[in-house]
Structure 1
Amino acid sequence: MLSQAESSIRSESSLSRTDLLEKVRRADPQKLGGLLELYRNYLSVLATGQLDRKLRGRVSASDLVQETMMEAHRDFHQFRGSSEPEFISWLRRILVNNMARAIEMHVLAEKRDVRREVSIERLNAAVERSTIQLGLAFAGREDSPSAKFEQHERAIDLANQMSRLSPEHREVLVLRNLQSLPFKEVAARMDRTIPAAKMLWMRAIKKLRETYEEQGANV
Structure 2
Amino acid sequence: MLIEDAVSPGTPQFVIDSYATLAERARTQSFGLIEEDVIVLDTETTGLSVQDNELIEISAARLSGREVVDRFDTFVHPKQLIPAEITELTSITNADVADAPSAVEAVAALADFVGGCPVIAHNATFDRSFIESVKGGVNVSDIWIDSLALSRIALPRLASHKLSFMADLFDCDSVSHRANADVDALCGVWRVLLVALTDLPQGLMARLADMHAD
TM-score by length of 2: 0.28
Greater relative contact order, per chain length (Cα 8 Å cut-off, separation 6+): 2
TM-score by length of 1: 0.28
As a proportion of its length, which structure holds more strand?
2
As a proportion of its length, which structure holds more helix?
1
